Amino acid sequence: MNASSVAAPSADAGQTRSFPTIGVLALQGDVREHVAALAHCGAHPVLVRRESELAEVDALVLPGGESTTISKLLAAFELLEPVRARLRAGMPAFGSCAGMILLASEVLDTRPDAEHLSGIDMTVRRNAFGRQVDSFETDLPFAGLEDGPVRAVFIRAPWVERVGNGVDVLATVPNGPAAGRIVAVRQGNVVATSFHPEVTGDLRVHRMFVELVRAA
């Protein structure tokens, strides 16, 4: 899927904010699913692989995938520092699973050469829920979302062990051995989830993010 295949409806200059341009980091991971979800929520999604493409977006989504691989590719594509700079300048961002790990200020159980972006003041434990065979789904109450809990898909997922001042906890695991573990957070214009809302067909998390970008 390329950017042109999911272009937003045309808009004049006065309507541009109605269709915010949201980049999806397209180096590795479930890029296509995020692009489709954003398009359905009224955004104009574009693929980001270069600094020049990053400069054109209002916000950025960091998809699920393999966090250490994505961090290496960010460095290889000379995007690591530009993304950090945009985050420091207030760019809205949303990270799911590996994206949550990348947005953390501290990561546990990762490789010593792995990089992160410090978009949210939090400590994240990589692969906290276990291996691929430990993947699971659950219904998850999510602060600020109406119409009941979201169906959350956890695949080799992280969880958050510490949040700093100014970080809002949006969701915790409701039951089971991991009950109480933090799996969704927000700090300012940056949101992160341990789970993959892009794979369920429930667009509420993406819609919330698009509205956040419009407001920003």
Q: Where along the chain do its domains lie?
A: 3-215
pLDDT band at 127 (very low <50, low <70, confident <90, very high): confident
Set 34, 116, 196, 206: catalytic member:
196
Residues 6+ apart with CB under 8 A from 187: 119, 120, 121, 122, 164, 166, 167, 168
Q: What is the per-residue pLDDT for 132?
A: 57
CA distance 59 to 66: 21
- 56 belongs to the catalytic site: no
Question: 33, 97, 116, 206: which one is catalytic?
Answer: 97
90-94: average pLDDT = 98
* pLDDT tens-digit map of 13-67: 344 457 999 999 999 999 999 999 999 999 999 999 999 999 999 999 999 999 9
CA distances in angstroms from 79 to 50, 72, 102, listed in the order given: 7, 10, 13
* Among candidate residues 169, 188, 179, 158, the one with its CA nearest the CA of residue 96: 158
Quote the pTM value: 0.89
Q: Is 196 a catalytic residue?
A: yes
Q: pLDDT confidence of 134, banded at 50, 70, 90?
A: low
Q: What CATH code would you report for 3-215?
A: 3.40.50.880
Q: Is 198 a catalytic residue?
A: yes
